[in-house]
Amino acid sequence: MSEELPPDVRATLARLFEEAAEDARTREGESVRTRLETVEAVTDEEVPPGAGKERLRHGCAQVRKTVENEPLVAAEYLQAMRRLVDEDDAGPGADGGTEDGGDGGEGEDGNEADGSERDAEGGTDEGEGENGDENAGPDGGRDTDPT
């Protein structure tokens, strides 16, 4: 969220989202709804107006729609909202992205997260021909070295 949240509000919302997500995973729908009521009250009273507040409200509405029939989807919404309020604490995406903490994009060494390298046109070295064979010709056949 681009709006600044006071640390105590951020901590409260993050805790509520984490607890509600666990409740959703264990299919405790009533507990999720109770925690959502608290989240909505904190959001209405403590979160400044703007896109962040609207995203939180939207997320709560989506959780309400999914918690009974798709509790794991509801848990993911709750985790996404936790990351939304946490991103101000350690910077955008500090807790999100991939399991290794990366965003799946370019690494510090200029290589892609999967180990491939970018070429001058911004593409990767994968897929030079069919099946990613860097010696493959334009038609997918192998270019042979006459030497």
Q: Given pLDDT bands bounded at 50, 70 and 90, which one contains residue 146?
A: low
Query: Is the distance from CB of 1 to CB of 48 less than 8 angstroms?
Result: no
Which whole-number Å values give the CA distances from 41 to 6, 45, 87, in the listed order? 15, 6, 21
Q: What is the mean pLDDT of residues 104-122?
A: 47
Q: Is the pTM of this model over 0.75?
A: no
pLDDT at 5 over 90: no
Q: How many CB atoms lie within 10 A of CB 60?
A: 22
* Segment 53-109, tens digit of pLDDT: 899 999 999 999 999 999 999 999 999 999 988 875 554 444 444 344 444 444 444
Over 70: is that where the pLDDT of 117 sits? Answer: no
Residue in 137, 19, 118, 31 with CA at minimum distance from that of residue 78: 19
